[in-house]
Structure 1
């Protein structure tokens, strides 16, 4: 492995060689942000890859099943698949309305054969359970991404703080010295001050690229979760929901009674003709 001096640029190496306490504190904070950001980025990358593989595996089994509740009856378990959690939440709610139990027992298949259908309003509760599961999956996928956002937005400002601080220190030291100022006198302080800005950008730019890539992958997964929930809802609706109209007859208009209109009497018996007569008289 080549030495660090051969990797760094000469200017960056010169600034680090002449670094002061403020420079090293800022560099330490930037290093902490970088390590935290990369830890979250790598963990999210492996998690999203595992989630996508688990989703494909569950979706293949679901579409090969004989009926919508078969995997629920067989108690299939896919821990890393949000599809599975959406499916399981919907099946638990559906089983509760169909059979009065939210977990498949030994007689689940036999009881399901004699079960009736649920109403559209009960199907709405099943859809609400799926929507809650989609929202919880999105929150789990987006967890800890705020650390990466903090790194990409905070690192440049932290580096700029170190640069401004270092330049102020440089000019304050020059003000106390006597004699002519030359480039050799200014170079160490200015170069050290600029090192923090360079390191801040080196932390922020990779974080920004990786953040945008991971957020795009998460959004794609959430959209597919919504699509799967819609597909599952349609399948359950066709199989288990009774959309027939009720036989209840609405009451007739005569049964409701005739509307009563207030009668005018006395001085209020003919307000409209008087007003019209006055209008025609003025005309």
Structure 2
């Protein structure tokens, strides 16, 4: 600890110690959130790698679902499971693999593109839910980090005001020995606020970058899974219904009042001739 910081803490006022205590609490909260998020992201990343390796080595897109493979901490697995349940419902009429699931899947037909849209919606919902879980409590860390420098500045301003108030109330000439303790104590809170915010902000930006990268990888997996489902289970032979030709529509019928109004117009035309 620097001599100036030691001197400021030694002569600290009650306001200074209160603000330093709040800063310490903010530091504990932010680091607790960031460390827990770091451990969670590392665990999710390892689980995702394990699940993706098994998925890409499987025989068909529903193979892991049929075998009831479970990866609790893998966000990609939860996306896959939600999509597989929706797909199984449209293929065999059940959303969980039973004893006859494999046989029924062999005899199942294919689904329509509109049904595949429902499966895609299930994947999109799972991505959104996984993103919310990954970003949970990050706002608490962001609030602590952004508030720490301002809280330190508040302590500095407060301490300077107390120092100048003391100088004004005592009167007479004041040397540096009387001014130094108050000013140093006031600056201590700004130093502590920056010490809380700067290292935590570096870690916060790193964690945010990891979360964004993981969300991108989840979206890439959704595209991969959607393509696999589409090639294996979707029937694209259902063409859009063609528009009828003009001859098939028949002769257009005119409203009944048209003939009544046409006669005066025809007579007027003859009169002008």
Q: Report TM bin, short chain.
A: over 0.9
Q: 2:206 aligns with which of 202, 213, 218?
A: 213
Structure 2 unaligned residues grouped into runs of 5+: none
* Match for residue 67 of structure 2 among 51, 74, 89: 74
**Residue 151 of structure 1: how far off its partner (Å):** 1.8
Q: Are 1:265 and 2:262 an aligned pair?
A: yes
Deviation at 1:176, TM superposition (A): 1.0
Cα separation, 2, equivalents of 1:9 and 1:67: 64
Establish whether residue 52 from structure 1 lines up as the match of residue 49 from structure 2. no
1:101-140 deviations in whole A, cap 9, x for unaligned?
Answer: 0000000000000000000000000000000001111100
Deviates most, 243-252 or 76-85: 243-252
Deviation at 1:148, TM superposition (A): 1.5
Alignment of 1:227 onto 2:235: no
What SS class does the counterpart of residue 128 from structure 1 fall into? Answer: helix
Shift of 1:255: 3.7
Is 1:17 matched up with 2:14? Answer: no
Partner of 1:3 in structure 2? none
The superposition leaves residues 143-175 of structure 1 with CA deviations (integer Å, 9 ceiling, x where unpaired) of: 010121112210010001111111111111111
Give 1:269 shift. Answer: 5.6
Structure 1: state its 5+ residue gaps. 1-7, 278-283
Distance 1:77 1:45 in 2: 23
The one-character-per-residue Cα deviations of 1:25-46 (angstroms, maximum 9, x if unpaired) are: 1001000000000001111111
CA RMSD of aligned residues (A): 2.2
Aligned to 1:209, the other structure's residue is in SS state helix
- Give CA deviations for 1:49-75 in whole Å, capped at 9, x if unaligned: 111100000000001111111100110
Equivalents in 1 of 2:240, 2:156: separation in Å? 79
Q: Secondary structure at the match of 1:176?
A: helix
Counterpart of 2:171 in 1: which secondary structure? Answer: coil
In structure 2, the CA distance between the partners of 1:152 and 1:247, relative to structure 1 (3 Å rule), is closer
Residue 191 of structure 1 deviates from its aligned partner by 0.4
Q: 1:192 aligns with which of 185, 190, 209?
A: 185
Residue 23 of structure 2 corresponds to which residue in structure 1? 30
Question: Is residue 201 from structure 1 mapped to residue 198 from structure 2 by the alignment?
Answer: no
Instruction: Give the drift of 1:207.
Output: 1.6
Any idea what SS the aligned residue of 1:66 has?
coil
> In structure 2, how many angstroms separate the alpha carbons of the residues matched to 1:50 and 1:12?
40
Question: What does residue 120 of structure 2 align with?
Answer: 127
